Amino acid sequence: MDRHPVVSSFISYVGWEDRELEVGFTNGEVWIYFGVPRAVFEVLIQAESTGKAFHQYVKDAFYAGRKIE
pLDDT, tens digit (0-9, with 9 covering 90-100), for 26-52 = 999 999 999 999 999 999 999 999 999
Domain count, the chain: 1
| Residues 8, 42, 33, 11, Cα dihedral to 10° | -10
pLDDT at residue 43 in the model = 97
pLDDT at residue 69 in the model = 82
Q: Which domain holds residue 61?
A: 2-68
Mean predicted confidence (pLDDT) in 11-35: 97
> Phi first, then psi: what are they for 42, rounded to 5°?
-65, -35
